[in-house]
Amino acid sequence: MLKRPIFIALIAMLLAVGVVSTPKAVSQTQRTLVGEWLVRSTPIDNEQFSRMGNSLGFPDRDMFFAENGDIRTGFVAREDVGVAVKPLGVWRQEGNRISATFQLWCPDSNFPCGTIVMRGEFVNDDRIRGTMAAFFDEEDATRPTGFDTWRFNFTANRLSSGGGQ
């Protein structure tokens, strides 16, 4: 006689655990970089320039990431320079960790040429943080890669879930 209430209580407990835990699990598996992000950068150890004097400053950047199967693309909307100015990039995601590579926009010698590599992780569904390394097109034998390098921190907040154009 006593077995039935215990059995029912057990089922109810399992259902309750399922209801509570399911949204979190779904949320974690659905984390994606796809969307528009406002990226803010800050110096590391107050380094404003690379050893060779290159710098990107620390402006806010509007970055878009899109995905079509294994083809993962991105761009930076540089409307501060021009409507058509969209530095291009690609990205990769393994669980909570993200990686991206972007080319720098360098129409003339006033702009440093190079490539940016981002490494970061999700803090929550709509916030990521990490570091960026800029590998400039200028040789520097003191760096392990042989090229002038500059690093900085970034945090990014999601503005929308769309991939942009």
Contacting residues toward another protein, per CB under 8 A: 70-73, 84, 86-92, 94, 97, 99-107, 113-115, 117, 119, 131, 133, 135, 137, 143-147, 149, 151
SS (H, E, C) the chain: CCHHHHHHHHHHHHHHHHHHHHHHHHHHHCCCCCEEEEEEEEECCCCCCCCCCCCCCCCCEEEEEEEECCEEEEEEECCCCCCCCCCEEEEEEECCEEEEEEECCCCCCCCCCEEEEEEEEEEECCEEEEEEEEEEEEECCCCCCCEEEEEEEEEEEEEECCCCC
Task: Rank residues 101 and 157 by Cβ distance to another protein and give the closer one.
Answer: 101
Query: CA–CA separation, 37 vs 98, rounded Å?
Result: 14
Least distance from another protein to the Cβ atom of residue 21, Å: 28
Supply the minimum distance, in Å, between the C-beta of residue 40 and another protein: 18
CB of 119 to another protein, least distance (A): 6
Residue 32 or 103: which CB sits closer to another protein? 103
Nearer to another protein, 41 or 149 (CB): 149
Cβ nearer to another protein, comparing 57 with 69 = 69
Instruction: CB nearer to another protein: give 5 or 69.
Output: 69
The CB-of-90 to another protein minimum distance in angstroms stands at 5
Closest CB 4 distance from another protein, rounded Å: 51
